[in-house]
Amino acid sequence: MALIGSDIAQAKAHLDRGELVGIPTETVYGLAGNALNEEAALNIFKTKNRPEFDPLIVHTHAIEELDKYVTEIPEKAITLAHAVWPGPLTILLEKKSIIPDLITSGLSTVAIRIPKHPLTLALLKSLDYPLAAPSANPFGYVSPTTASHVNDQLGEKIPYVLDGGPCSVGVESTIVGFEHDAKPTIYRLGGKKVEDIESLIGEVDVKLNKSSNPVAPGMLLSHYAPGVQVHLGEISDLLKKHHDKRIGIISFSQSFSAPNIAKQIVLSQNADLDEAARKIFSALRSLDSPEIDLIITEKLPETGLGRAINDRLERAAVRY
């Protein structure tokens, strides 16, 4: 198992040797390695069992650092960066050659983000390279929101997890690109609300990849999926339909009763979408157990972080 602790110097020592470390962010925990070191990057893909056509996000600690890694920053990207960073937003920018092609899966853009977590910001400041960090889960599985989630799945493969407590946002960063000059595009719904982004830079397009064979890398349809099947719909109908199965329920704010409910998680008694976002991934994990045949869950309101949560639930419910 990996060592779990809050020692920034120890995390740095591993990273300086080209090794990988679990790091906390406000969204989810990342599996971090030196983004300028191809071997470390390759090790990230291997450790996660992630296909190399799915590019990584590069994390840094200050907007002033961006010049080292990207050729230009559009006006609206600058506005967003200043308003949101450090925070749950990733911006796609044209890369300089210092960023290995492996990191971007051969794309001309690199995904950059300044995460909002004091330990990770201090760690990034202490390094003389940025960190590539995908979510610290095996490819296709639910993202980790605590250090022990990371240890449960990747502990055998990495030396250290920097423990920054449970993630305060709970879903991954929102990804925004500026390829089409006029209107920015959101490629992944996440911790920064679409409404907030639009109030800063005007209307955006939302283009999520819903195909199982995406033209653009990443954003595969079946993702965030626990081992136990997930069914998304009206909980009371699904309970009737599956009366012969041992059910795990994840509901937004209501509780349900039926003899075959093995475990039930209410995301937010007060119907608070931010609280639901903090809990969604650990809820999916805790119902992924041999005592449960089927996870039943429902769509949340399509507003604020509800949009990102619904996106994750839809992907978790897909089976090929």
Neighbours of 49 (CB within 10 A): 11
By CB under 5 A, how many residues form the interface with Mg ion?
A: 1
Q: Are 277 and 271 in contact (CB under 8 A)?
A: no
Question: CB-wise, 43 or 251, nearer to ligand TXA?
Answer: 43
For residue 73, the cross-strand partners are: none
User: Per rule CB under 5 A, is residue 135 in the interface with Mg ion?
Assistant: yes
Distance CA 114, CA 107 (A): 21
CB of 289 to Mg ion, least distance (A): 22
CB of 227 to ligand TXA, least distance (A): 19
Residue labelled with tokens 């300086």 = 16
User: Per rule CB under 6 A, is residue 60 in the interface with ligand TXA?
Assistant: no
For residue 34, the cross-strand partners are: 131
Question: CB-wise, 134 or 248, nearer to ligand TXA?
Answer: 134
**Of the candidate residues 91, 92, 235, 287, the single one contacting ligand TXA (CB under 6 A):** 92
Instruction: Say which residues have a Cβ less than 8 Å from residue 177's Cβ, sequence separation at least 6.
Output: 91, 92, 109, 184, 185, 187
CB of 297 to Mg ion, least distance (A): 19
**Of the candidate residues 8, 15, 21, 28, the single one contacting ligand TXA (CB under 6 A):** 28
Q: Are 179 and 107 in contact (CB under 8 A)?
A: no
Distance CA 189, CA 87 (A): 14
User: Per rule CB under 6 A, is residue 166 in the interface with ligand TXA?
Assistant: no
Piece of the chain touching ligand TXA by CB under 6 A; list 107-115, 194-202, 298-306, 309-317 = 107-115
User: Per rule CB under 6 A, is residue 174 in the interface with ligand TXA?
Assistant: no
- Residues in contact with Mg ion by the rule CB under 5 A: 135
